[in-house]
Homo-oligomer: A and B are copies of this chain.
Amino acid sequence: MPLAAVMTAPHKPIEVHNLPAAKIEPGGVLLETIFSEVCGTDVHLHHGRLAGVPYPIIPGHVSVGRVIETGGAVSDVDGNPITVGSVVTFLDVHETCHACWYCLVAKASTRCPHRKVYGITYSASDGLLGGWCEHIYLKPKVKTILLPARVRPERLIAAGCGLPTAVHAIERAAIALGDIVAVQGSGPVGLNAAILALLSGAGGVIVIGDPANRLQAAKEYGVDEVISVAETTPAERADRVKALTGGRGADITIEATGAPAAVKEGVAMTRDGGRYVIVGQYTDAGEVSINPHTEINKKHLEIRGCWGSDFSHVYRMVNVLARHGDRVGWEKMISREYGLNEMNTALQDVAAGRVVKAVVRPKG
């Protein structure tokens, strides 16, 4: 009877429950959770900002665990066998149908209407389908990746769900060697986008965010400039980016804030003919006013929304962690580990931005 931290309803305190053990189907995998995480999405879930969530739920969508049982022979996408003792991560998105128009014709699987997401769209009564739990049950066809030896669980969970999200955003950003990239936001997605921009050949990376501990983290990860939102006006920030780019603005700007007003500001700091990737607007926080002549048409601007992640993003994330992990040191992002009985504190710390990355360790 594994313990889980259950979010019973929006705004209600998280409760620790004993839940029924998983029944392993053929092709299923049972994990002992090594780490899960608390991310901004969990705060949104706790505030009831996402539609259609089947509370009570076990939050925690990106996790890493050790296999304790499999339903017969199971292997990962590279053909590596997944056996008892294997340390794995997995794509939290499941049941992408590969049979609908979005999957097959548009080839936009992140818009497949059949997707389910561990820790978000499964109810606690559906099984152990979230990371804030001693066990995670990987249903058959959940896409797993055996962690390479050089990617320790701490490193993977420090990257957390922010890194595959950033991998997708960087794919949309299409950075050329020497491009100047501005990143709006210094939470996990913003920091990871900045790190990946540096790893992708940017000629300079500017992070606009707050609070000071996150900007400090950005500097330690090697970004060229940080701009504090608290200490500047929007006009000053756009001016600062322009001053750093010969008066033109960033070649590419990546939005990772969730604040609608950031979009207008981000456009202002992007050069004519540049590219603006919007990845942070994960919940509906209202509207923003845009001038389509001066801000899009005459600028010859390209704006790219970026929704969700698919397996390729998690796979590439693991490759990046394996190749660049020692130099980047993602694990420095972990501010604190929380036990299952500390999840209320964890949610408050994330909501307040007091931590860069909050990690859950279900087993003391």
Spell out A's residues near B (CB within 8 Å). Answer: 77-79, 98-102, 104-108, 110-111, 141, 143, 167, 170-171, 176-178, 196, 199-204, 224, 246, 248, 251, 255, 260, 263, 271-273, 278-294, 296-308, 310-312, 315-317, 319-320, 322-323
Are B292 and A300 within 8 A (Cβ)?
Answer: no
Please, how many angstroms separate the alpha-carbon atoms of A280 and B260 in the complex? 25
Closest chain B residue, CB of each to CB of A97: B98
Which B residues are CB-close (under 8 A) to A99? 77, 141, 143
- The residues of B that contact A171 with a CB separation of less than 8 Å are 176-177
Expressed in whole angstroms, the Cα–Cα distance for A294 and B282 within the complex equals 9
Q: A278-B296, A297-B307, A299-B305 are in contact. List 6 more A-B contacts (CB 8 A).
A: A178-B323, A199-B201, A280-B297, A281-B292, A281-B298, A287-B291
CB-defined contacts of A316 to chain B, threshold 8 Å = 105, 176-178, 203
Q: Is B203 touching A272 in the complex (CB atoms < 8 A)?
A: no
Asked if B260 and A292 make an inter-chain contact with CB atoms under 8 angstroms apart, the answer reads yes
A312 contact set on B, CB distance < 8 A: 104-105, 107
Complex Cα distance A301/B272, Å? 20
* Contacting pair B289 A287 (CB below 8 A): yes
In contact, A284 and B293 (Cβ under 8 angstroms): yes
28 contacts between A and B (CB under 8 A): A77-B101, A78-B246, A99-B143, A101-B246, A102-B272, A107-B312, A111-B272, A111-B273, A170-B177, A177-B199, A177-B200, A177-B320, A201-B201, A224-B323, A263-B296, A272-B307, A278-B292, A281-B297, A281-B298, A282-B293, A283-B293, A286-B291, A287-B290, A288-B291, A289-B289, A297-B305, A297-B306, A298-B307
State A6–B90 Cα separation when bound (angstroms): 46
List of B residues within 8 angstroms of A302 by Cβ: 302-305
A307 contact from B255, B286, B299, Cβ within 8 A: B299
A102 to B312, CA, bound (A): 10
Other-chain contact of A101, B78, B263, B300 (Cβ < 8 Å): B78
CB distance from A314 to the nearest CB of B (A): 10
